[in-house]
């Protein structure tokens, strides 16, 4: 069982006592209060607001990170959050930042999902996080998950929690170590400002959407596509009559998913996944890879560029939803290829990709 982070107040008079105690335990003692104050002075010199620096000096906070064998002395929470978000202004106003801090974020699936969580923690989006995944970090995850080789074999939920707390120790993080299940879905999304679906199981994807509809929660799914991402936004909070997956699956498809509680056959899973993604949306190399899955590839490829991009896009979408900015349901494509590849939008390139897609469909036995 992982030892929990500890946060406690510490006055100037108690510093030496705690320093001796933790150094005796083999901890590294890290004191950044003076740096905190210096940066706060820089921040507040542009504002009509005074900081009582003597108060900060006399009432600081110690954060015990047991997995790092380190203890960090920082300024109190309110001032720390000011430091964390100060460089966001005025791209994100102080008023908006306060609203964002109060949000609750639920993320299922911690490959792409871990990047979403980390960027939101960096931007000060969310105070409470529900994170779900049953897997451990593997060596093959390291191409797209910002983690250390030293942590291979450890639960993804645990590692994501640690990284978030190393960014902001004042976060509340609830772990769903067995991943998302039919029994815990409602608990997972209850109270959430935004729900992210980054899991593979189609049965659970459908159940998650049904629960989001019942609880009237916005759901976001970000799918990697080569170096690009495809974004699906389903605003069950504003339109509970929405049809799951934008209506791309018919009643027969949905019934098939519901009945396959123990998992679909590989051929069924690929067929239904392609109906959701739509073949023409996959980049040519991804189309080729899908044909090779089960032959020369054991699973479809994923790149760190797309996973990182997904984190940035997911955070921006969450901000817009939480701040009640205009954002409607639907599918968006964030394509680095379109922006960086010469002639990507020209007729010849579009026609070449269309022909590739038609051949891809034929290889799958589709018309």
**What digits encode the pLDDT tens for the residues 349-359?**
999 999 998 98
Domain final residue pick, 88, 107, 133: 88
For the cut 90, the answer to whether the pLDDT of residue 177 exceeds it is yes
User: How much is the pLDDT for 23?
Assistant: 94
| 233, 236, 237, 239 alpha-carbon torsion, rounded to 10° | 110
For the cut 50, the answer to whether the pLDDT of residue 102 exceeds it is yes
Split at pLDDT 50, 70, 90, the class of 367 is: very low
Place of tokens 């006399």: 58
Residues 183 and 234 in one domain: yes
pLDDT, one tens digit per residue, over 15-63 is 999 999 999 999 999 999 989 988 888 887 766 555 556 666 678 999 9
Domain final residue pick, 46, 70, 88: 88
**Smallest Cα–Cα separation from 63: which of 51, 50, 77?**
77
Residues 53 and 150 in one domain: no
pLDDT, one tens digit per residue, over 54-95 is 666 678 999 999 999 999 999 999 999 999 999 998 899 999
Residues 338 and 252 in one domain: yes
**Whole-angstrom distance, CA of residue 155 vs CA of residue 133:** 8
Residues 223 and 155 in one domain: yes
What contacts 14, CB < 8 A, 6 or more positions away?
Answer: none
Residues 177 and 318 in one domain: yes
User: How much is the pLDDT for 54?
Assistant: 61
User: How much is the pLDDT for 363?
Assistant: 80
Residues 176 and 320 in one domain: yes
pLDDT, one tens digit per residue, over 290-314 is 777 767 777 778 999 999 999 999 9
For the cut 90, the answer to whether the pLDDT of residue 157 exceeds it is yes
User: How much is the pLDDT for 11?
Assistant: 87
Helix (H/G/I), strand (E/B), else coil: 334: strand
**Burial code of 285-302, b = ≥16 C-beta within 10 A, e = fewer?**
ebbbbbeeeeeeeeeebb
Residues 166 and 236 in one domain: yes
- Whole domain around residue 25: which residue ranges? 6-88
Q: Which residue has the higher pLDDT, 262 or 13?
A: 13
Total structural domains in the chain?
2
pLDDT, one tens digit per residue, over 214-258 is 999 999 999 999 999 999 999 999 998 999 999 999 999 999 988
**Whole-angstrom distance, CA of residue 65 vs CA of residue 293:** 42
Residues 360-364, mean pLDDT to the nearest whole number:
82
| 296, 221, 225, 363 alpha-carbon torsion, rounded to 10° | 50
For the cut 90, the answer to whether the pLDDT of residue 116 exceeds it is yes
Residues 221 and 314 in one domain: yes
Q: Which residue has the higher pLDDT, 47 or 326?
A: 326
């Amino acid at each position: 069982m992982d030892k929990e982070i500890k946060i406690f107040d510490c006055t100037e008079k108690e510093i030496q006592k705690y320093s001796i105690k933790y150094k005796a335990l083999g901890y590294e003692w890290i004191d950044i209060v003076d740096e905190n104050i210096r940066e706060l002075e820089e921040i507040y010199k542009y504002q009509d607001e005074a900081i009582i620096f003597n108060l900060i000096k006399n009432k600081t906070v110690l954060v015990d990170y047991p997995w790092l064998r380190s203890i960090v002395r920082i300024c109190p929470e309110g001032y720390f959050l000011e430091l964390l978000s100060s460089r966001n202004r005025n791209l994100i106003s102080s008023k908006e930042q306060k609203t964002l801090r109060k949000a609750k974020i639920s993320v299922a699936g911690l490959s792409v999902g871990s990047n979403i969580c980390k960027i939101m923690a960096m931007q000060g989006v969310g105070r409470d996080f529900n994170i779900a995944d049953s897997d451990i970090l593997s060596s093959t995850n390291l191409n797209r998950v910002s983690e250390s080789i030293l942590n291979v074999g450890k639960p993804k939920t645990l590692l994501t929690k640690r990284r978030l707390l190393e960014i902001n120790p004042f976060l509340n993080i609830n772990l769903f170590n067995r991943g998302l299940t039919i029994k815990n879905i409602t608990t997972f999304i209850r109270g959430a400002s935004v729900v992210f679906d980054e899991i593979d199981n189609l049965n659970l994807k459908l159940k998650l959407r049904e629960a989001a509809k019942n609880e009237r929660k916005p759901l976001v799914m970000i799918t990697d596509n080569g170096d690009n991402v495809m974004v699906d936004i389903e605003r069950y909070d504003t339109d509970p009559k929405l049809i799951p997956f934008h209506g791309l699956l018919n009643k027969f498809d949905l019934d098939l998913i519901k009945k396959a509680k123990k998992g679909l056959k590989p051929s069924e899973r690929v067929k239904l996944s392609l109906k959701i993604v739509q073949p023409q949306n996959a980049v040519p190399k991804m189309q080729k890879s899908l044909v090779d899955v089960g032959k020369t590839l054991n699973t479809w490829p994923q790149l760190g560029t797309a996973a990182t991009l997904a984190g940035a896009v997911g955070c921006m979408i969450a901000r817009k939803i939480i701040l009640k900015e205009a954002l409607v349901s639907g599918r968006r494509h964030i394509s680095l290829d379109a922006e960086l590849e010469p002639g990507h939008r020209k007729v010849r390139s579009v026609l070449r990709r269309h022909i590739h897609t038609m051949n891809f469909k034929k290889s799958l036995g589709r018309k």
